[in-house]
Structure 1
Amino acid sequence: MNESNLFYIIVIDMDGNYSYINNNYAKVFSHINNNFIGQPYHITMHPDDMNTCLEVSTKCFENPDKLFLATIRKHNGEGGYVYTQWEYKAMFDDKKNPAGIFCIGHNITKYVGEELQLKNAKEEIEKNSAIMKKIVFQQSHLICAPLSNIIGLTTILDKTLLDSNTSNICDMILESTNQPDKVIRNIITTART
Protein backbone atom coordinates (compact mmCIF):
# COMPACT_ATOMS: atom_id res chain seq x y z
CA MET A 1 0.00 0.00 0.00
CA ASN A 2 3.00 2.30 0.37
CA GLU A 3 3.04 2.67 -3.44
CA SER A 4 -0.71 3.30 -3.88
CA ASN A 5 -1.54 6.15 -6.23
CA LEU A 6 -5.21 6.13 -5.21
CA PHE A 7 -5.15 6.01 -1.43
CA TYR A 8 -3.53 7.98 1.33
CA ILE A 9 -2.34 5.89 4.25
CA ILE A 10 -1.28 7.48 7.51
CA VAL A 11 -0.77 6.43 11.10
CA ILE A 12 -1.14 8.92 13.93
CA ASP A 13 0.49 8.08 17.27
CA MET A 14 -1.08 8.65 20.67
CA ASP A 15 0.56 12.09 20.90
CA GLY A 16 -1.30 13.21 17.75
CA ASN A 17 1.77 13.10 15.50
CA TYR A 18 2.39 11.31 12.20
CA SER A 19 4.25 8.03 12.70
CA TYR A 20 3.74 6.75 9.13
CA ILE A 21 2.64 8.13 5.74
CA ASN A 22 2.63 6.41 2.37
CA ASN A 23 4.31 7.85 -0.73
CA ASN A 24 1.05 9.15 -2.24
CA TYR A 25 0.25 11.20 0.88
CA ALA A 26 3.81 12.51 1.01
CA LYS A 27 3.70 13.52 -2.66
CA VAL A 28 0.23 15.11 -2.68
CA PHE A 29 0.80 17.15 0.47
CA SER A 30 4.51 17.92 0.00
CA HIS A 31 3.60 21.61 -0.30
CA ILE A 32 2.86 21.55 3.45
CA ASN A 33 5.90 19.64 4.65
CA ASN A 34 8.57 17.41 3.12
CA ASN A 35 8.79 15.16 6.20
CA PHE A 36 5.59 14.57 8.15
CA ILE A 37 6.93 12.00 10.60
CA GLY A 38 6.79 13.47 14.11
CA GLN A 39 4.70 16.45 12.94
CA PRO A 40 1.20 17.16 14.39
CA TYR A 41 -1.59 15.47 12.41
CA HIS A 42 -3.53 18.72 11.96
CA ILE A 43 -0.93 20.64 9.89
CA THR A 44 -2.54 19.44 6.66
CA MET A 45 -6.16 20.16 7.49
CA HIS A 46 -8.77 22.84 7.81
CA PRO A 47 -8.86 23.95 11.48
CA ASP A 48 -12.61 23.32 11.71
CA ASP A 49 -12.06 19.62 10.95
CA MET A 50 -9.83 18.95 13.98
CA ASN A 51 -12.90 18.24 16.14
CA THR A 52 -14.07 15.68 13.58
CA CYS A 53 -10.73 13.86 13.89
CA LEU A 54 -10.93 13.86 17.68
CA GLU A 55 -14.54 12.61 17.70
CA VAL A 56 -13.84 9.84 15.20
CA SER A 57 -10.64 8.78 16.99
CA THR A 58 -12.52 8.56 20.28
CA LYS A 59 -15.17 6.35 18.65
CA CYS A 60 -12.39 4.10 17.31
CA PHE A 61 -11.03 3.41 20.79
CA GLU A 62 -14.52 2.97 22.23
CA ASN A 63 -15.33 0.44 19.47
CA PRO A 64 -11.98 -1.14 18.51
CA ASP A 65 -13.52 -3.67 16.10
CA LYS A 66 -15.14 -1.02 13.91
CA LEU A 67 -14.06 1.41 11.20
CA PHE A 68 -15.31 4.98 11.31
CA LEU A 69 -15.67 7.46 8.44
CA ALA A 70 -14.55 11.07 8.42
CA THR A 71 -14.54 13.75 5.74
CA ILE A 72 -11.58 16.07 6.18
CA ARG A 73 -10.57 19.14 4.19
CA LYS A 74 -6.85 19.32 3.45
CA HIS A 75 -4.82 22.32 2.25
CA ASN A 76 -4.36 22.18 -1.53
CA GLY A 77 -1.31 24.45 -1.66
CA GLU A 78 -3.21 27.12 -3.58
CA GLY A 79 -5.08 28.75 -0.73
CA GLY A 80 -8.00 26.35 -0.86
CA TYR A 81 -8.85 22.84 0.21
CA VAL A 82 -9.39 19.38 -1.20
CA TYR A 83 -12.02 17.13 0.33
CA THR A 84 -10.82 13.76 1.54
CA GLN A 85 -12.76 10.76 2.84
CA TRP A 86 -11.11 8.57 5.49
CA GLU A 87 -11.67 5.35 7.36
CA TYR A 88 -10.19 5.35 10.87
CA LYS A 89 -9.25 2.26 12.87
CA ALA A 90 -7.81 2.11 16.40
CA MET A 91 -4.42 0.43 16.78
CA PHE A 92 -3.22 -1.38 19.89
CA ASP A 93 0.19 -2.66 20.99
CA ASP A 94 0.97 -6.24 22.08
CA LYS A 95 -0.29 -5.48 25.59
CA LYS A 96 -3.62 -4.19 24.21
CA ASN A 97 -2.75 -0.58 25.04
CA PRO A 98 -3.83 2.12 22.58
CA ALA A 99 -1.01 2.71 20.07
CA GLY A 100 -2.52 5.09 17.53
CA ILE A 101 -4.95 5.50 14.69
CA PHE A 102 -4.61 3.88 11.25
CA CYS A 103 -6.25 5.94 8.50
CA ILE A 104 -6.82 5.18 4.84
CA GLY A 105 -8.32 7.89 2.66
CA HIS A 106 -8.76 9.30 -0.81
CA ASN A 107 -9.59 12.56 -2.56
CA ILE A 108 -13.33 13.17 -3.00
CA THR A 109 -13.16 16.79 -4.16
CA LYS A 110 -14.67 15.98 -7.56
CA TYR A 111 -17.49 14.02 -5.92
CA VAL A 112 -18.21 16.85 -3.46
CA GLY A 113 -18.25 19.34 -6.36
CA GLU A 114 -20.67 17.17 -8.32
CA GLU A 115 -22.88 16.76 -5.25
CA LEU A 116 -22.96 20.53 -4.85
CA GLN A 117 -23.86 20.98 -8.53
CA LEU A 118 -26.60 18.37 -8.18
CA LYS A 119 -27.95 20.07 -5.05
CA ASN A 120 -27.97 23.44 -6.83
CA ALA A 121 -29.68 21.89 -9.86
CA LYS A 122 -32.35 20.30 -7.64
CA GLU A 123 -32.95 23.63 -5.89
CA GLU A 124 -33.27 25.35 -9.28
CA ILE A 125 -35.73 22.67 -10.47
CA GLU A 126 -37.78 23.04 -7.28
CA LYS A 127 -37.79 26.81 -7.69
CA ASN A 128 -38.85 26.54 -11.34
CA SER A 129 -41.48 23.95 -10.44
CA ALA A 130 -42.96 26.32 -7.88
CA ILE A 131 -43.01 29.10 -10.47
CA MET A 132 -44.70 26.78 -12.98
CA LYS A 133 -47.34 25.78 -10.42
CA LYS A 134 -48.00 29.44 -9.72
CA ILE A 135 -48.28 30.18 -13.46
CA VAL A 136 -50.63 27.22 -13.99
CA PHE A 137 -52.80 28.40 -11.10
CA GLN A 138 -52.87 31.94 -12.46
CA GLN A 139 -53.63 30.73 -15.98
CA SER A 140 -56.39 28.40 -14.88
CA HIS A 141 -58.02 30.55 -12.21
CA LEU A 142 -57.13 34.16 -12.75
CA ILE A 143 -57.16 34.30 -16.56
CA CYS A 144 -59.24 31.35 -17.77
CA ALA A 145 -62.18 32.00 -15.45
CA PRO A 146 -62.80 35.61 -16.57
CA LEU A 147 -62.11 34.64 -20.18
CA SER A 148 -64.67 31.82 -19.91
CA ASN A 149 -67.14 34.30 -18.43
CA ILE A 150 -66.64 36.64 -21.41
CA ILE A 151 -67.17 33.70 -23.81
CA GLY A 152 -70.32 32.61 -21.96
CA LEU A 153 -71.78 36.11 -21.77
CA THR A 154 -71.00 36.80 -25.41
CA THR A 155 -72.65 33.50 -26.42
CA ILE A 156 -75.78 34.43 -24.44
CA LEU A 157 -75.79 37.93 -25.87
CA ASP A 158 -75.39 36.58 -29.41
CA LYS A 159 -78.48 34.38 -28.98
CA THR A 160 -80.71 37.35 -28.15
CA LEU A 161 -82.37 39.37 -30.85
CA LEU A 162 -79.62 41.73 -31.91
CA ASP A 163 -79.17 43.72 -35.03
CA SER A 164 -76.70 42.21 -37.50
CA ASN A 165 -73.93 44.69 -36.62
CA THR A 166 -74.07 43.87 -32.88
CA SER A 167 -74.33 40.14 -33.66
CA ASN A 168 -71.27 40.48 -35.88
CA ILE A 169 -69.41 42.18 -33.00
CA CYS A 170 -70.40 39.30 -30.67
CA ASP A 171 -69.01 36.80 -33.20
CA MET A 172 -65.71 38.73 -33.34
CA ILE A 173 -65.55 38.83 -29.53
CA LEU A 174 -66.15 35.05 -29.40
CA GLU A 175 -63.48 34.40 -32.01
CA SER A 176 -61.04 36.72 -30.25
CA THR A 177 -61.62 35.11 -26.83
CA ASN A 178 -61.68 31.49 -28.08
CA GLN A 179 -58.13 31.75 -29.49
CA PRO A 180 -56.36 32.78 -26.24
CA ASP A 181 -58.64 30.40 -24.31
CA LYS A 182 -57.34 27.45 -26.38
CA VAL A 183 -53.73 28.63 -25.99
CA ILE A 184 -54.09 29.00 -22.22
CA ARG A 185 -55.76 25.58 -21.87
CA ASN A 186 -52.92 23.98 -23.90
CA ILE A 187 -50.33 25.67 -21.64
CA ILE A 188 -52.13 24.39 -18.54
CA THR A 189 -52.37 20.86 -19.96
CA THR A 190 -48.69 20.86 -20.96
CA ALA A 191 -47.57 22.23 -17.57
CA ARG A 192 -49.54 19.60 -15.66
CA THR A 193 -48.05 16.67 -17.56
Structure 2
Amino acid sequence: MNHFQQVNQFLKDSSFFYTIAIGMDSKYTYVSKNYDRNFEFTNGTLLGRHFSVTLHPDDIVICEQVGGQCFSEPGRLFSATLRKHDGRGGFVTTQWEMQAIFDEKEQPEGIFCIGYNITEFVDTQSRLVSANTQLNDIGFMQSHLVRKPLANIIGLSQMISEESKGEKVTQLSAMLAKSADELDQVIREISRKTDE
Protein backbone atom coordinates (compact mmCIF):
# COMPACT_ATOMS: atom_id res chain seq x y z
CA MET A 1 0.00 0.00 0.00
CA ASN A 2 1.56 3.32 -1.02
CA HIS A 3 1.80 6.37 1.21
CA PHE A 4 -1.19 8.07 -0.45
CA GLN A 5 -3.42 5.05 0.19
CA GLN A 6 -2.25 4.73 3.80
CA VAL A 7 -3.12 8.33 4.56
CA ASN A 8 -6.50 7.98 2.85
CA GLN A 9 -7.25 4.83 4.84
CA PHE A 10 -6.31 6.56 8.07
CA LEU A 11 -8.37 9.72 7.39
CA LYS A 12 -11.25 8.33 5.30
CA ASP A 13 -13.80 8.83 8.10
CA SER A 14 -12.28 11.97 9.63
CA SER A 15 -14.75 14.66 10.68
CA PHE A 16 -12.04 17.32 10.71
CA PHE A 17 -9.78 16.71 7.74
CA TYR A 18 -10.55 16.59 4.04
CA THR A 19 -8.51 14.36 1.76
CA ILE A 20 -8.69 14.62 -1.99
CA ALA A 21 -6.67 13.65 -5.03
CA ILE A 22 -6.77 15.48 -8.31
CA GLY A 23 -5.67 13.73 -11.49
CA MET A 24 -3.62 15.12 -14.33
CA ASP A 25 -6.89 16.03 -16.07
CA SER A 26 -7.72 18.42 -13.15
CA LYS A 27 -10.60 16.21 -11.98
CA TYR A 28 -11.13 14.66 -8.58
CA THR A 29 -9.88 11.07 -8.54
CA TYR A 30 -10.55 10.69 -4.82
CA VAL A 31 -12.68 12.63 -2.32
CA SER A 32 -13.13 11.75 1.34
CA LYS A 33 -16.61 11.49 2.83
CA ASN A 34 -16.04 14.66 4.83
CA TYR A 35 -15.04 16.61 1.71
CA ASP A 36 -18.12 15.47 -0.21
CA ARG A 37 -20.32 16.17 2.82
CA ASN A 38 -19.04 19.74 3.11
CA PHE A 39 -18.61 20.83 -0.50
CA GLU A 40 -20.86 18.73 -2.77
CA PHE A 41 -24.25 20.43 -2.67
CA THR A 42 -26.26 18.40 -5.20
CA ASN A 43 -26.40 15.23 -3.05
CA GLY A 44 -23.96 13.41 -5.29
CA THR A 45 -20.20 13.26 -5.25
CA LEU A 46 -17.41 15.45 -6.49
CA LEU A 47 -15.55 12.41 -7.79
CA GLY A 48 -14.84 12.91 -11.49
CA ARG A 49 -15.68 16.62 -11.46
CA HIS A 50 -13.23 19.46 -12.18
CA PHE A 51 -11.44 20.66 -9.03
CA SER A 52 -12.56 24.27 -9.60
CA VAL A 53 -16.26 23.59 -8.88
CA THR A 54 -15.68 24.01 -5.14
CA LEU A 55 -13.38 27.04 -5.30
CA HIS A 56 -13.73 30.77 -5.17
CA PRO A 57 -12.88 31.82 -8.75
CA ASP A 58 -9.92 33.92 -7.60
CA ASP A 59 -8.36 30.90 -5.86
CA ILE A 60 -8.16 28.65 -8.94
CA VAL A 61 -4.86 30.25 -9.93
CA ILE A 62 -3.46 29.48 -6.45
CA CYS A 63 -4.17 25.78 -7.01
CA GLU A 64 -2.55 25.87 -10.42
CA GLN A 65 0.58 27.56 -9.03
CA VAL A 66 0.89 25.23 -6.04
CA GLY A 67 0.26 22.22 -8.28
CA GLY A 68 3.17 23.32 -10.47
CA GLN A 69 5.38 23.60 -7.40
CA CYS A 70 4.41 20.08 -6.31
CA PHE A 71 5.64 18.61 -9.61
CA SER A 72 8.77 20.74 -9.71
CA GLU A 73 9.81 19.47 -6.25
CA PRO A 74 8.46 15.92 -5.82
CA GLY A 75 8.20 14.65 -2.26
CA ARG A 76 7.78 18.12 -0.78
CA LEU A 77 4.56 19.45 0.77
CA PHE A 78 3.26 22.83 -0.33
CA SER A 79 0.56 24.77 1.47
CA ALA A 80 -2.30 26.92 0.27
CA THR A 81 -5.19 28.79 1.84
CA LEU A 82 -8.30 28.45 -0.31
CA ARG A 83 -11.89 29.63 -0.15
CA LYS A 84 -14.53 26.98 -0.81
CA HIS A 85 -18.24 27.40 -1.53
CA ASP A 86 -20.32 26.91 1.61
CA GLY A 87 -23.53 25.99 -0.25
CA ARG A 88 -25.31 29.11 0.96
CA GLY A 89 -23.78 31.66 -1.39
CA GLY A 90 -20.72 32.32 0.75
CA PHE A 91 -17.33 30.77 1.34
CA VAL A 92 -15.41 29.01 4.07
CA THR A 93 -11.66 29.33 4.41
CA THR A 94 -9.64 26.14 4.22
CA GLN A 95 -5.96 25.37 4.74
CA TRP A 96 -4.31 22.70 2.57
CA GLU A 97 -1.06 20.83 2.17
CA MET A 98 -0.43 19.30 -1.23
CA GLN A 99 2.06 16.88 -2.71
CA ALA A 100 2.52 15.39 -6.17
CA ILE A 101 1.76 11.68 -6.50
CA PHE A 102 3.40 9.37 -9.01
CA ASP A 103 2.56 5.90 -10.30
CA GLU A 104 4.84 2.86 -10.01
CA LYS A 105 6.69 3.96 -13.19
CA GLU A 106 7.38 7.36 -11.60
CA GLN A 107 5.01 9.09 -14.00
CA PRO A 108 2.94 12.01 -12.60
CA GLU A 109 -0.46 10.78 -11.46
CA GLY A 110 -1.87 13.89 -9.79
CA ILE A 111 -1.90 15.87 -6.59
CA PHE A 112 -2.82 14.57 -3.14
CA CYS A 113 -4.25 17.17 -0.76
CA ILE A 114 -5.14 17.20 2.91
CA GLY A 115 -7.00 20.16 4.34
CA TYR A 116 -9.24 21.46 7.06
CA ASN A 117 -11.60 24.34 7.73
CA ILE A 118 -9.95 27.41 9.27
CA THR A 119 -12.90 29.79 8.91
CA GLU A 120 -13.38 30.20 12.66
CA PHE A 121 -9.68 30.90 13.14
CA VAL A 122 -9.66 33.47 10.31
CA ASP A 123 -12.82 35.14 11.63
CA THR A 124 -11.42 35.28 15.17
CA GLN A 125 -8.14 36.69 13.90
CA SER A 126 -10.04 39.33 11.93
CA ARG A 127 -12.10 40.28 14.99
CA LEU A 128 -8.93 40.55 17.09
CA VAL A 129 -7.30 42.83 14.52
CA SER A 130 -10.47 44.94 14.45
CA ALA A 131 -10.64 45.06 18.26
CA ASN A 132 -6.97 46.06 18.42
CA THR A 133 -7.60 48.85 15.91
CA GLN A 134 -10.55 50.05 17.97
CA LEU A 135 -8.45 49.99 21.15
CA ASN A 136 -5.76 52.01 19.42
CA ASP A 137 -8.38 54.52 18.27
CA ILE A 138 -9.79 54.75 21.80
CA GLY A 139 -6.30 55.16 23.22
CA PHE A 140 -5.58 57.99 20.78
CA MET A 141 -8.88 59.70 21.58
CA GLN A 142 -8.24 59.43 25.31
CA SER A 143 -4.68 60.61 25.19
CA HIS A 144 -5.18 63.40 22.67
CA LEU A 145 -8.80 64.42 22.27
CA VAL A 146 -10.11 63.98 25.84
CA ARG A 147 -7.02 65.03 27.75
CA LYS A 148 -6.77 68.48 26.12
CA PRO A 149 -10.15 69.77 27.32
CA LEU A 150 -9.55 68.06 30.68
CA ALA A 151 -6.21 69.87 31.05
CA ASN A 152 -8.03 73.11 30.23
CA ILE A 153 -10.61 72.40 32.96
CA ILE A 154 -7.85 71.69 35.49
CA GLY A 155 -6.08 74.92 34.55
CA LEU A 156 -9.29 76.97 34.68
CA SER A 157 -10.20 75.58 38.12
CA GLN A 158 -6.77 76.65 39.40
CA MET A 159 -7.21 80.13 37.90
CA ILE A 160 -10.67 80.48 39.44
CA SER A 161 -9.30 79.42 42.82
CA GLU A 162 -6.45 81.96 42.61
CA GLU A 163 -8.68 84.82 41.44
CA SER A 164 -11.58 84.19 43.82
CA LYS A 165 -11.75 85.78 47.24
CA GLY A 166 -15.05 84.16 48.25
CA GLU A 167 -14.95 81.06 50.44
CA LYS A 168 -17.81 79.32 48.57
CA VAL A 169 -16.20 79.82 45.15
CA THR A 170 -12.88 78.58 46.55
CA GLN A 171 -14.58 75.42 47.86
CA LEU A 172 -16.37 74.80 44.55
CA SER A 173 -13.13 75.40 42.66
CA ALA A 174 -11.31 72.88 44.89
CA MET A 175 -14.07 70.31 44.30
CA LEU A 176 -13.87 70.93 40.56
CA ALA A 177 -10.08 70.55 40.62
CA LYS A 178 -10.33 67.31 42.66
CA SER A 179 -12.91 65.81 40.25
CA ALA A 180 -10.83 66.84 37.24
CA ASP A 181 -7.73 65.23 38.79
CA GLU A 182 -9.68 62.01 39.48
CA LEU A 183 -10.94 61.96 35.89
CA ASP A 184 -7.40 62.60 34.65
CA GLN A 185 -6.15 59.57 36.63
CA VAL A 186 -8.91 57.35 35.19
CA ILE A 187 -8.09 58.46 31.64
CA ARG A 188 -4.37 57.84 32.25
CA GLU A 189 -5.13 54.31 33.51
CA ILE A 190 -7.38 53.54 30.52
CA SER A 191 -4.73 54.92 28.14
CA ARG A 192 -2.08 52.80 29.85
CA LYS A 193 -4.20 49.65 29.41
CA THR A 194 -4.87 50.34 25.73
CA ASP A 195 -1.11 50.75 25.16
CA GLU A 196 -0.30 47.32 26.63
Alignment-derived partner of residue 119 in structure 1:
129
Q: Which amino acid aligns with 2:135?
A: I
Any residues of structure 2 matched to 1:34-45 within 5 Å, and which?
34-45=44-55
The offset of 1:62, in angstroms, is: 3.0
Percent identity, aligned pairs only, is 34
Q: Which amino acid aligns with 1:138?
A: P
2:184 to 177, 180, 188: 188
What TM-score comes out, normalization by structure 2 length?
0.81
What TM-score comes out, normalization by structure 1 length?
0.82
* CA contact 1:75–1:81 (8 Å) conserved in 2: yes
Alignment-derived partner of residue 104 in structure 2:
94
Alignment-derived partner of residue 80 in structure 2:
70
Structure 1 Cα separation of the partners of residues 69 and 157 of structure 2:
67
Alignment-derived partner of residue 150 in structure 2:
139
Does 2:172 match 1:172? no
The offset of 1:149, in angstroms, is: 2.3
Structure 2 Cα separation of the partners of residues 183 and 67 of structure 1:
63
The offset of 1:32, in angstroms, is: 4.7
For residues 82-110 of structure 1, give each alpha carbon's deviation from its aligned partner in whole angstroms, at most 9, with x where no partner exists: 22111111223334343221110111222
- Secondary structure at the counterpart of residue 93 of structure 2: strand
Equivalenced residues, count = 178
Structure 2 Cα separation of the partners of residues 148 and 59 of structure 1:
72
Alignment-derived partner of residue 164 in structure 1:
none
C-alpha RMSD of matched pairs (Å): 1.9
Structure 2 Cα separation of the partners of residues 63 and 97 of structure 1:
14
Q: Which amino acid aligns with 1:47?
A: P
Structure 1 Cα separation of the partners of residues 102 and 66 of structure 2:
16
Alignment-derived partner of residue 34 in structure 2:
24
List alignment gaps of at least 5 residues for structure 2: 1-10, 190-196
For residues 153-186 of structure 1, give each alpha carbon's deviation from its aligned partner in whole angstroms, at most 9, with x where no partner exists: 33xxx4xxxxxxxxxxx22221121111111111
